[in-house]
C-alpha cells in the first residue's frame, strides 16, 4: 500500500493524493470493464445491477484474492454476507447507504462468488475470515484518518515539509494509531464474522449491525458438532454439512435455480432437522410462487453465480466449526464492547424453537454485548432482502447515531 505523500520526494502531499486517487479510479474502471468482457465472452448479458454505478474489483487480502463491490464516498461501511450468498445479498443496502453519504464495500467472502476458494476446510476458520476483513479495512481505510487529527496532519505537512524523513515516521505512527474505524454489517455467517472481528479487533470497528445470528459465548464443555449431534441428531443440517462431499452430492440432484429457491425462500421456522435417512436439501420445500421481495431475474443472478462457484467453499465454513471452538478458547467469557445492533426476523430459523428468543429477552445476550440494541421484525431469515426498506432504515439510524460529532459537521 502507498500512503499518500510518503513515496515521492519531488511532489507535494496534495499532488500525490490526486495522483493516487486517479490511479485508484483507473484501476476500478479497468476492473469493471474486465467483468463486462468476461460475461460477454460467456455469451451472457450483464445482470442489471452491474450497470447501476457499482464498481467491482479484486483485491489481494490476507494471501488470497477477494472480489468486492463498492459504491459511494465517505465513512467506510463493510457489508458481510452469509450462506449461501455473495455480495449481491446487500444490493438494496448498498444503494441506500451510498446515497446517504457512505462508502459501502461488499465483498464476496472467501469461498464465495468471484473470490478465491481455498480447498482445505481448515482455511475457513473465523481467524482466517477476520484476517480477510482486517486486510480489506487496511486497503479501503488507508486514507480514512480520524477527522479529529486531519487538521493536525495538515499543519504537520506545512511546518515540517523540509524534514521529510521525520514526517514520514510521524505520519505512519498517526495513521496506525488513530486510523478511522469502520462500520461493519453482517448477516448469518457474516454476522458471526462481524462479532468475532469486534471481539478480536475492536480498534477497527466503529459499530456493528448483525442480522439473524447473535453473539454466543463459547461453551467450554463440548464442541459445536457434539452438541448438535446430541440435541438434534444426524438430520440436523449442520451435522450433514460436516462430511466433505456429502452435501455437494445431495445438492447435485437439483439445478442451481431450485437450490436457490430452497435456501433463499426458506420459510420454515424450526431447527432444520430432516427425518432419519433424508438429506436436508430434499426436506426443504421449493416454493412455486415467488414472494414479492425477490424477482425471477434476481434469482437467476444467484443461480448463475453458484453454478460458476459451487458450494464447497461455502460448506467449508461449517466444516471449520470445531476448529473455531478450539482456537476461540483464549476468549472464553470475553465480551463484545463495540456498539452493536441486532436485527432478526420473528420467523427466522429456530428463533422460537432453539431458544434464541429466550436468549435475547432473558438478558444473557446483553450480558456479553453490553452496548446492544435489539430489533425484531416480522420476517424470515433473509430479513435484509425481505424487509429491505425497514432494515436499511434501521441500519442508517444506527450509523447516524454512532458517527462522530466531528464527522457529522463535515
The residues carrying an active-site annotation are 188, 318, 381
First-residue to last-residue Cα distance in the chain? 27
Question: What's the CA gap between 207 and 77, in Å, rounded?
Answer: 10
* Strand, helix or coil for residue 91: helix
* Strand, helix or coil for residue 365: helix
Asked if 344 and 211 touch (Cβ cutoff 8 Å), the reply is yes
Write the DSSP assignment of 92-161 as a string of letters.
HHHHHHHTTTEEEEEEPPTTSTTS---SSGGGGSHHHHHHHHHHHHHHHTTT-B-GGGHHHHHHHHHHTT
Residues 6+ apart with CB under 8 A from 334: 199, 217
Inter-CA distances, 304 with 43, 156, 387, Å: 13, 52, 24
Q: Is 8 left (phi over 0), alpha (psi -120 to 50) or beta?
A: beta
Asked if 71 and 94 touch (Cβ cutoff 8 Å), the reply is yes
Inter-CA distances, 85 with 82, 112, 260, 296, 317, Å: 6, 7, 9, 16, 13
Beta bridge pairs of residue 71: 104
Cis before residue 84, ω within 30 degrees of 0?
yes
Amino acid at each position: 500500500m502507498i500512503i499518500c505523500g510518503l513515496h515521492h520526494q519531488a511532489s507535494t502531499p496534495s499532488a500525490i493524493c490526486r495522483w493516487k486517487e486517479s490511479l485508484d479510479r483507473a484501476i476500478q474502471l479497468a476492473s469493471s470493464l474486465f467483468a463486462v468482457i468476461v460475461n460477454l465472452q460467456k455469451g451472457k448479458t450483464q445482470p442489471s445491477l452491474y450497470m447501476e454505478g457499482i464498481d467491482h474489483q479484486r483485491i489481494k487480502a490476507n494471501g488470497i484474492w477477494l472480489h468486492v463491490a463498492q459504491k459511494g464516498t465517505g465513512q467506510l461501511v463493510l457489508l458481510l454476507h452469509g450462506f449461501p450468498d455473495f455480495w449481491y445479498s446487500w444490493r438494496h443496502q448498498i444503494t441506500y447507504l451510498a446515497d446517504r453519504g457512505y462508502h459501502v464495500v461488499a465483498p464476496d467472502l472467501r469461498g464465495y462468488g468471484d473470490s478465491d476458494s481455498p480447498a482445505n476446510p481448515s482455511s475457513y476458520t473465523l481467524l482466517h475470515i477476520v484476517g480477510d476483513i482486517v486486510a480489506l479495512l487496511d486497503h479501503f481505510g488507508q486514507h480514512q484518518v480520524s477527522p479529529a487529527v486531519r487538521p493536525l496532519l495538515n499543519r504537520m505537512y506545512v511546518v515540517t515539509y523540509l524534514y521529510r524523513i521525520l514526517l514520514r515516521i510521524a505520519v505512519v505512527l498517526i495513521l496506525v494509531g488513530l486510523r478511522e474505524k469502520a462500520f461493519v454489517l453482517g448477516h448469518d455467517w457474516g454476522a458471526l464474522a462481524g462479532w468475532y472481528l469486534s471481539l478480536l479487533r475492536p480498534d477497527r470497528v466503529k459499530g456493528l449491525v448483525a442480522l439473524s445470528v447473535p453473539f454466543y459465548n463459547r461453551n467450554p464443555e463440548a464442541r459445536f458438532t457434539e452438541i448438535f449431534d446430541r440435541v438434534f441428531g444426524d438430520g440436523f443440517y449442520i451435522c450433514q454439512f460436516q462430511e466433505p462431499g456429502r452435501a455437494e452430492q445431495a445438492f447435485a440432484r437439483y439445478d442451481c435455480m431450485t437450490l436457490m429457491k430452497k435456501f433463499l425462500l426458506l420459510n420454515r421456522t424450526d431447527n432444520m432437522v430432516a427425518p432419519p435417512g433424508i438429506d436436508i436439501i430434499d426436506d426443504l420445500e421449493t416454493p412455486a410462487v415467488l414472494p414479492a421481495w425477490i424477482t425471477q431475474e434476481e434469482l437467476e443472478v444467484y443461480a448463475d453465480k453458484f453454478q460458476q462457484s459451487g458450494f464447497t467453499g461455502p460448506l467449508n465454513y461449517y466444516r471449520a466449526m470445531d476448529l473455531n471452538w478450539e482456537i476461540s478458547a483464549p476468549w472464553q467469557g470475553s465480551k463484545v464492547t463495540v456498539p452493536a445492533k441486532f436485527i432478526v426476523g420473528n420467523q427466522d430459523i429456530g428463533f422460537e424453537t432453539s431458544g434464541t428468543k429466550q436468549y435475547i429477552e432473558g438478558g444473557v445476550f446483553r450480558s456479553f454485548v453490553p452496548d446492544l440494541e435489539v430489533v425484531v421484525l416480522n420476517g424470515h431469515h433473509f430479513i435484509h432482502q425481505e424487509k429491505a426498506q425497514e432494515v436499511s432504515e434501521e441500519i442508517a439510524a444506527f450509523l447516524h447515531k454512532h458517527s462522530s460529532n466531528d464527522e457529522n459537521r463535515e
